[in-house]
Amino acid sequence: MEHNHSSSSTRTRIDRKTIEKNRRNHMKALFSKLHSLVPHHHTSREAMSLADHIDEAANYIKNLEKHLEKLRQKRDRLVAIAKQNIASMSCAENVGLRPPQIEVHEMGSALTVVLVTGLNYKFMFNETIRVLHEEGAEIVNAGFSVVDDTVFHTIHSKVGESGLGSGAARVSERLKKFAYDAS
What is residue 101's DSSP assignment? E
- Domain positions in the chain are 2-88, 101-182
- Interval 95-154: pLDDT, tens: 545 678 888 888 777 888 888 888 777 778 888 888 888 888 888 899 888 888 888 899
Angle at 47 between CA 42 and CA 50, to 5 degrees: 95
For residue 40, the tally of other CB atoms under 10 A from its CB is 11
Q: 2-88: which CATH topology?
A: MYOD Basic-Helix-Loop-Helix Domain, subunit B (4.10.280)
Fold of the domain built from segment(s) 101-182: Alpha-Beta Plaits (3.30.70)
pLDDT in tens, 144-178: 888 888 888 999 988 765 555 556 677 777 877 87
Task: Report whether pLDDT(90) > 60.
Answer: no
Global pTM reads 0.44
Q: Between the CA of residue 121 and those of 31, 143, 169, 177, what are the distances in Å? A: 57, 16, 23, 15
